[in-house]
Amino acid sequence: MQTTSKFDIFDKITFIDGFAIILIVLYHTLTRNSDAPGAEFLLKYIRTIGLTLFIFSAGMKLGINHSQELEDKEFLKKYFVKRFFRLYKPYFGYTALIFIPVYFEMYVAKYYFNSDYIGVSRYWSSLNINGILNLILGSNFVSSHLWYLPFLIIITSVCFTLLYFFKTRGLFIFIVPLLIFDVFYWNCLSGSLLFLAIKYLPIYIFGIYYAYYKEYELWKKKQYLIAVSFVMIFLISLIRGNNPLFNYDLILYGLTFPSFFILASQHLVNIPYMNNFLSICGKYSFQIYLFHVPLLLHPINELFNIFMDTEYSFIPYYISFLTIVASIYAYKLCKKLGLNSLFE
């Protein structure tokens, strides 16, 4: 059996994280510039694909790094506690770090620019005890995108509970009834992070599964079949996008696109600028995720709205690129000042 080196696997994971964070930043840019050419089409796909890639990558990292320990109950208990604090530390630490800068940003947005977009109104209406309590529970009015961190804690909790009682084989088998449950109760799974986690859990488990069987020749053949399935699903969505089947796009893309992208990454690595950009974005994906909104993307976007016509097709992409670069340098500045200890 031909094996794949760990370096190759982690290189592909870096590409996955890099592509995922690019899509997430672009999504947040296009939601503020929905009139830009192509925005409606891209928004239909990029958020779903970006989030599912992040979830898949998180599961894959767990499977690769700890494949020999996931059936050890003592390890699961200790690692979960470590994981809990590793995720909640940046949630609260980064919120504390940006609270004052965001206050001034929101003050300027409301009283000088008369901005009334949902983020501004939500911020001012949440400066009370209820807002603080909701923040603790995962609804962060200072930086709303941080919901992903407590969300990932919930996914990890459910997954580790299944591993504790049923081990890896039971966890993988559980994907089937979980998918059936999701399909039947899809429209009910909204309104809380717990319900959202149930939707994404099969993708996280699939990431662990992929890590376990990545070196098996039979799985490599199945990977090509899954990648082809993604292409077919995507083409059908272009033609019959209103089909009720695409209400489950999260599952359809979450269980097929990662295999497609991993195969594609073997070719992307040969494109010099693409290789470098994805590698850098992947290396700093978590830091870009933390820093890009609201402190950087929103002001950069507003400056472009003032001085340029954002309806030009290239502008949202340029804003996204600047935001990514600014996020990396903002993190490096925090690291130089020692402020990264708040969230790392």
Backbone φ and ψ for 275, nearest 5 degrees, come out as -60, -50
The closest of 8, 52, 13, 68 to 215, measured between CA atoms, is 8
pLDDT band at 6 (very low <50, low <70, confident <90, very high): very low
* C-alpha distances out from residue 156 to 80, 275, 282, Å: 8, 31, 22
> Could you tell me if residue 137 is inside a domain?
yes
In angstroms, the CA 67 to CA 61 distance is 10
Taking CB atoms within 8 Å and a gap of at least 24, the contacts of 64-70 are: 64/6, 64/9, 64/10, 64/13, 64/211, 67/211, 67/212, 70/163, 70/167, 70/168, 70/208
Percent of the chain, pLDDT > 70? 96
pLDDT > 90 in the chain, percent: 69
pLDDT of residue 312: 62
pLDDT at 33: 85
Mean pLDDT for all residues in the chain: 90
Residue 1 within a domain: no
Mean pLDDT of 196-220: 90
Position 115 confidence tier, pLDDT thresholds 50, 70, 90: confident
Is a pLDDT exceeding 60 seen at residue 2?
Answer: no
Does 5 have pLDDT greater than 60? no
Kindly report the backbone phi and psi dihedral angles of residue 308, in degrees, each rounded to the nearest multiple of 5, phi listed first.
-140, 165
Domain count within the chain: 1
Q: φ and ψ at 309, to 5 degrees?
A: -90, 110
- Residues 177 and 174: their CA atoms lie apart, in Å, by 6
Q: Does residue 160 sit in helix, strand or coil? A: helix
Is there a domain that residue 312 lies in?
yes
Q: For position 114, what pLDDT does the model report?
A: 75
Across the range 40-65, mean pLDDT stands at 94
> Is the predicted pLDDT of residue 3 greater than 60, yes or no?
no
For residues 257 and 230, is the Cβ–Cβ distance under 8 A? yes
37 within a domain of the structure (yes/no): yes
Residue 198 predicted with pLDDT over 80: yes
Q: Which position has the token pair 């590698």?
A: 279
Q: Would you state the pLDDT for residue 4?
A: 42
pTM: 0.93
For residue 253, how many C-alpha atoms fall within 13 Å in the half-sphere facing its CB?
A: 21
User: The domain containing residue 175 runs over which residues?
Assistant: 6-342
Per-residue pLDDT, 303: 86
C-alpha 96: how far from chain center: 22
Q: What pLDDT score was predicted for residue 103? A: 93
Q: Give the confidence band of 323 by pLDDT, cuts at 50, 70, 90.
A: very high
Q: Could you tell me if residue 23 is inside a domain?
A: yes
Nearest of 174, 221, 160 to residue 202 by alpha carbon: 174
Asked whether 254 and 202 are in contact (CB, 8 A), the reply is yes
Query: Which residues, at least 6 apart from 168, have a Cβ–Cβ distance to it below 8 Å?
Result: 70, 71, 208, 212
- pLDDT at position 7 over 50: no
Residue 308 has pLDDT above 80, yes or no: no
Report whether pLDDT(99) > 80: yes
CA nearest neighbour of 85 among 150, 178, 17, 27 = 150
Residue 181: in which H helix or E strand, if any?
A: helix 175-184
Nearest in space to 22 (alpha carbons), one of 252, 288, 259, 257: 288
The H-or-E segment that residue 50 falls in is helix 46-65
Q: Average pLDDT of 73-90? A: 95
Distance of CA 23 to the CA centre of its chain: 9
Of the two residues 6 and 152, the one the predictor is more confident about is 152
The answer to whether the peptide bond before residue 294 is cis (omega within 30 degrees of 0) is yes
Angle, alpha carbons 131-28-257 (nearest 5°) = 115
Average pLDDT over residues 108-125: 80
Residue 333 has pLDDT above 70, yes or no: yes
| 7-to-10, 11, 250, 257 alpha-carbon distances in Å | 5, 6, 29, 22
Give the separation between CA 188 and CA 175, rounded to whole angstroms.
Answer: 19
Whether residue 176 lies inside any domain: the answer is yes
